């Protein structure tokens, strides 16, 4: 099973990704985590990723696709995966060649996302400034909402109210996967 989790920052993608990984016995991969780890590297690409992420911008499609497809080529992802944070643009969704079973959209309001993110104390993330968070929320509406419609039209979308209790959300996702 190859799943994608889509939602605004703070929607609960990593929470559900880790829970689903345990239940379904398939690995969870966060594109944001991959990019943040690469941004720590003392390379040209690492410095570029760090500057881009800290400013709250998206990594360009060509670089994003190459990095994600490289990660998913590893043996641990051959039987399936839960991917969080990719694709973020329609061109990424159109070009992505790894096959997708279902796309789970965790829908939360901007207000709820900001409230959740304000409660995080993650000092490791230089991109968690209010300005960068607001920019990523704006980018979600501009770039990623069309991706949701792309997968809806393909009949692959499961839309979940992400403002419910965590176990309820998990149950609804699992029910959606059975259909």
What pLDDT score was predicted for residue 156?
95
Spatial separation of the C-alpha atoms in residues 142 and 151, rounded to whole Å: 16
Question: Binding site for ATP: what residues are annotated?
Answer: 10-15, 120, 164
Question: Binding site: what residues are annotated?
Answer: 10-15, 31, 36, 57-59, 85-88, 92, 120, 125, 136, 164
Sketch out the chain's domains with CATH numbers: 2-178 (3.40.50.300)
What pLDDT score was predicted for residue 115?
81
Task: Yes or no: say if 108 and 160 are a contact pair by the CB < 8 Å rule.
Answer: no
Torsion angle of C-alpha atoms 110, 120, 4, 173, degrees rounded to 10:
-80
Give the angle 87-88-93 at the CA atoms, nearest 5°. Answer: 40
pTM (2 d.p.): 0.84
Question: Binding site for AMP: what residues are annotated?
Answer: 31, 36, 57-59, 85-88, 92, 125, 136
* pLDDT tens figures, 35-75: 888 889 899 989 998 898 887 777 888 889 988 988 888 89
* pLDDT tens figures, 70-113: 888 889 998 999 999 899 899 999 998 778 999 999 999 988 88
Give the contacts of 2 (CB within 8 A, at least 6 positions apart): 80, 81, 83, 98, 99, 100, 101
């Amino acid at each position: 099973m190859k799943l994608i989790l889509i939602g605004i920052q703070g929607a609960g993608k990593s929470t559900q990704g880790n829970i689903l990984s345990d239940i379904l016995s398939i690995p969870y991969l966060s594109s944001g985590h991959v990019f943040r780890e690469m941004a720590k590297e003392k390379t040209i690409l690492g410095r570029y990723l760090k500057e881009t992420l800290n400013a709250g911008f998206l990594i360009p499609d060509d670089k994003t696709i190459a990095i994600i497809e490289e990660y998913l080529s590893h043996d641990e992802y051959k039987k399936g995966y839960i991917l969080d944070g990719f694709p973020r643009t329609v061109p990424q969704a159109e070009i992505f060649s790894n096959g997708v079973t279902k796309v789970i959209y965790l829908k939360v309001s901007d207000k709820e996302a900001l409230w959740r993110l304000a409660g995080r104390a993650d000092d490791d993330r230089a991109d968690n400034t209010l300005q960068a968070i607001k920019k990523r929320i704006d980018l979600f509406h501009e770039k990623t909402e069309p991706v949701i419609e792309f997968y809806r039209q393909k009949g692959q979308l499961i839309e979940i109210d992400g403002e419910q209790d965590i176990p309820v959300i998990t149950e609804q996702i699992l029910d959606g996967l059975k259909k």
